[in-house]
Structure 1
């Protein structure tokens, strides 16, 4: 079964909107795990507009499943991850002013930098993953950095799948990701995925991406939970990921 890691950034956004502690981020994280999610993901940004660095530290004592911290590996982020030692760190090349992640790493151009950062994390027994577009050459060079996994950036799949009205159009939406997964399998990389995955498109993605280990879902899951309830939504995802 593909694991479900729930990104709780949007819970922090809602809390921060009123300046208090409602909803309580730590309580929500514990509840999400009790509802069946196999991981908690956070993506702290330098301006702390949703997840705060203090949240990242506090969650270390709360999360009992897999703890995944995403972010651009600047010095402050590296120091945070080394202090917390989560299960996994996912390296994302997002600009400081980015609303959300919008591109994967160029693992050719940044290979030396990624090697150095990844070695630092792996020497501290932290599993590493690199956020990448579904491009075979990029994935082949990702393997040369020493990373354990890649995370496929799935925005293009989600967009094209939402427009698809025929089986052929659905196949065209997933084709780059199936090919990317086969490349990752061939070079010994584990496969994660995330960005705009939802209840509408997750099953087809899972069925067509071989050896998909984990998906990280936040925005869509929280939006769906507004109508259906978070316990119910998590279990709907788990059913589709079996």
Structure 2
């Protein structure tokens, strides 16, 4: 079964909109795990506009499944990850001020940099994953960095699927097959939803984990958080 890691950034966004502690981020993380979620993902950004660095520290005592911290490996982020020692760090090439992630790493241009970062995290017992587009050259470059896993950036698939174009998954299938040959673990995330997750899961060989936030939290407004988590779990079986 592919694991479901729930990104709780949007819960933090809602909390920060009014100040105070409603909704309670730590309680939501605990509830998601109680409902069957197999991991919690956060993506702190330098301006702390949703997840705060202190949230990352506080969640360490709450997350008993898999704790995944995403972000651009700049100085403050590196220090935070090494302090929190999550189960997994996912390296994402965010520009400062970006609304959301918009591209994977150029694993050829940044190979030396990524290799250095990955080695540092691995020395501290943290599994590494790097965010990549479904481009074969980028998968090959990822392998050379020594990363444990890749996370396929799925925005293009989700867009094509919403237009009725199931062929939009083809580059992802090819990327997954190559990753399997190279013995890279495969994660995926971005714009995956209840509408497209089952099709994606059924077609991607060796898919270990999906990280879903915006769609899942939005769907939960209509369907309830516990119900939505379990709907995803059923589709990922």
- Give your verdict on TM over 0.5: yes
Alignment of 1:1-242 (within 5 A): 1-164=1-164, 169-170=165-166, 172-242=167-237
Counterparts of 1:152 and 1:119, CA distance in 2: 21
User: Residue by residue, what CA displacement relative to the aligned partner does 1:34-79 show, whole Å, maximum 9, x if unpaired?
Assistant: 0000000000000000000000000001100000000000011000
Alignment RMSD (CA, Å):
0.4
Counterparts of 1:19 and 1:241, CA distance in 2: 35
User: Residue by residue, what CA displacement relative to the aligned partner does 1:66-99 show, whole Å, maximum 9, x if unpaired?
Assistant: 0000000001100000000000000000101100
Q: CA deviation at 1:173?
A: 1.0
Counterparts of 2:40 and 2:178, CA distance in 1: 27
Structure 1: 4+ residue segments shifted above 6 A: none
Counterparts of 1:190 and 1:147, CA distance in 2: 9
SS at match of 1:4: strand
Q: CA deviation at 1:213?
A: 0.1
Counterparts of 2:159 and 2:135, CA distance in 1: 17
Counterparts of 1:233 and 1:58, CA distance in 2: 25
Q: CA deviation at 1:147?
A: 0.2
User: Residue by residue, what CA displacement relative to the aligned partner does 1:191-215 show, whole Å, maximum 9, x if unpaired?
Assistant: 0000000000000000000000000
Counterparts of 2:154 and 2:115, CA distance in 1: 24
Give structure 1 stretches of 5+ with no counterpart: none
Counterparts of 1:97 and 1:22, CA distance in 2: 25
Q: CA deviation at 1:181?
A: 0.1
SS at match of 1:63: coil
State the aligned residue count. Answer: 237
TM-score, with structure 1 as normaliser: 0.98
SS at match of 2:188: strand
Counterparts of 2:77 and 2:97, CA distance in 1: 15
Counterparts of 1:28 and 1:83, CA distance in 2: 23
TM-score, with structure 2 as normaliser: 1.00
